[in-house]
Structure 1
Amino acid sequence: MRFLLLPLLLLAGCASVPPAPPPAHSDALWRLIERDCQGAQSPRGDCLQVRPAVDHRDVLVKDAHGHYQFLLMPLDKVSGIESPALYRRGAPNYFAAAWQARARTEQALGQPLPRSVASLALNSPHGRSQHQLHIHVDCLRADVLQALEDNRATLGTQWAPLPVLLRGHQYQARLLPGVALTANPLNLLAYGLSGVDKVGQWSLLVAGHEDVHGAPGFILLATQLDPDSGNDASAEELQDHACSVLTGADASLERVR
């Protein structure tokens, strides 16, 4: 499905930067997992789903910020996008699990969630408040949808700078064909763009996509930390936690900083 909405608005090099300091209460999500997602009585409380099998090891939680946002997290302690364990052979594909979880957003909306509106965001250590990996499952912003539609002819299967800025920040983009996320987007970022040693300076968003012939796929958007431009590498900025494009909300609901 092609969405036409509002218009919006290239590759920022980033010198080595010190790691982000842990914020206050940065273990709140991990404590939630320990409380509600582990043990014989799980899932309970805020934990909606637990998949303990070795090829999954993930949990799903309803985020309190917005009616339609869910968080897909590892069942084990994994700090975030910078964790080396994510890039080892056999690591679970958490983005694939998060894509399946978009059904929860659709259920919360009470209406179909078009493929092109569904999105998954993983922030960098510098653009997040929690040091437990969590993928935000929610809708794209209307202006981001329009920008991607306007620039669809520039998208290919290799990483390249998006010709326009998104939320005032530069993003690299690439397409990934297929109905499901059989390839791990984190590996495509780490081994195809950032390098494993620098992946902690990056944030990644995956959005559903259909080409001009209706064939399904995905758009991957990655942005790099750039303090000089105010970019804290938080691709969640591209999401709208009010899902205004479908709900008709008067304003988008921004991420919690």
Structure 2
Amino acid sequence: MFSTLRKRWWLSALLLITLVAVSSYVWRTSSHNSDALWQLISQRCVPALASHGVPTPCQEVNQARGYVTLKDRNGILQYLLMPLNKLAGMESPELLHAATPNFFALAWEQRQLAVDHMTSAQTHVPDSALSLAINSQYGRTQNQLHIHISCLRQDVRQQLDALTPSLTSRWQTHPLGPNDYLLRTLQPQELHQTSAFIRLAQELPDAAGHMGHYGLALANLPNGQLVLMAIRANWRQANKASAEELQDHSCQILQSAS
């Protein structure tokens, strides 16, 4: 009798722990406006461009290339690049269509926004200090695809510099920051030739059917190559695949670069 009660107690405790873990993993609440970015694009930036010729509060509405850019309120130089059309995020099937704009390549081009933003402060912003990141379906707060253009964490920069000689065009697993990431190198022109989303789906065995489970990041390497970094959500490890964790919006890295 006692053994049966103890087993039931342990099963109940395990169930409670699992429920807590899942609730913290899928952490968005119904009170949060997950469409705030889309509403900003569709109800403010695009109409402002049509009415006044200036896409305020966005920096740019590029209708020909299908994207908008916005200075994020968080971070001294963080910008967001987003689709002009409604596109939820990593799980959106449109990202695997060749006709969809190559948003990661566009975002890397738009890193110049961060450089220009700091020019007035006479702060040098080298490519080595910059990065891109997009969070998984489970690690984001907004249901409009947005790529973070921001500073790379100083410790992650040091890790990537140390790993550079061993990195290749084949995916490898390495710890970065608090989690393990899959890393592979890219030549700069390869970023433009094939979308990072399509590359992820084609090259990792389980990615195509579970794109929403992945976050992606990009940075440069000392040898002139780029490094694509992928992380897969794992609720057992309380890992929501928020690749943004590799970034530092306070840009401490610029202090060492100056």
Q: Normalised by the shorter chain, which TM-score bucket?
A: 0.7 to 0.9
Alignment of 1:1-257 (within 5 A): 20=26, 23=29, 24-39=32-47, 40-41=50-51, 43-53=54-64, 56-110=65-119, 111-162=123-174, 165-178=175-188, 181-182=191-192, 183-193=194-204, 194-211=206-223, 216-247=224-255
Pair 122,128 (structure 1): closer, same or farther in 2 beyond 3 Å: same
Partners of 1:198 and 1:225 in 2: CA distance: 10
The structure number with the bigger radius of gyration is: 2
Partners of 2:63 and 2:221 in 1: CA distance: 30
Query: Any conservation in 2 of the 1:208–1:218 contact (CA below 8 Å)?
Result: yes
Pair 26,243 (structure 1): closer, same or farther in 2 beyond 3 Å: same
3-state SS in 2 of match to 1:50:
strand
- Structure with bigger helix share is 2
Aligned to 2:14: none
3-state SS in 2 of match to 1:67:
coil
What are structure 2's unaligned runs of at least 5 residues?
1-21
Query: Any conservation in 2 of the 1:115–1:209 contact (CA below 8 Å)?
Result: no
Q: How many residues align?
A: 225
Aligned-pair CA distance for 1:149: 1.1
Aligned to 1:254: none
Once superposed, what is the RMSD of the aligned Cα atoms?
2.1
Partners of 1:199 and 1:172 in 2: CA distance: 14
What are structure 1's unaligned runs of at least 5 residues?
1-16, 249-257
Pair 166,203 (structure 1): closer, same or farther in 2 beyond 3 Å: same
3-state SS in 1 of match to 2:210:
helix
Aligned to 2:4: none
Partners of 2:89 and 2:209 in 1: CA distance: 14
Partners of 2:98 and 2:41 in 1: CA distance: 25
- What TM-score, normalized by structure 2, do the two folds share? 0.81
- What TM-score, normalized by structure 1, do the two folds share? 0.82
Query: Any conservation in 1 of the 2:124–2:254 contact (CA below 8 Å)?
Result: no
Deviations 1:69-120 (A, max 9, x none): 0000000000001100110121100011111111111122223322222111
Aligned-pair CA distance for 1:44: 2.9
Runs of 4+ in 1 over 6 A off after TM superposition: none
3-state SS in 2 of match to 1:220:
strand
Aligned-pair CA distance for 1:179: 5.4
Partners of 1:192 and 1:184 in 2: CA distance: 12
Q: What amino acid does structure 1 have at the position aligned with 2:46?
A: Q
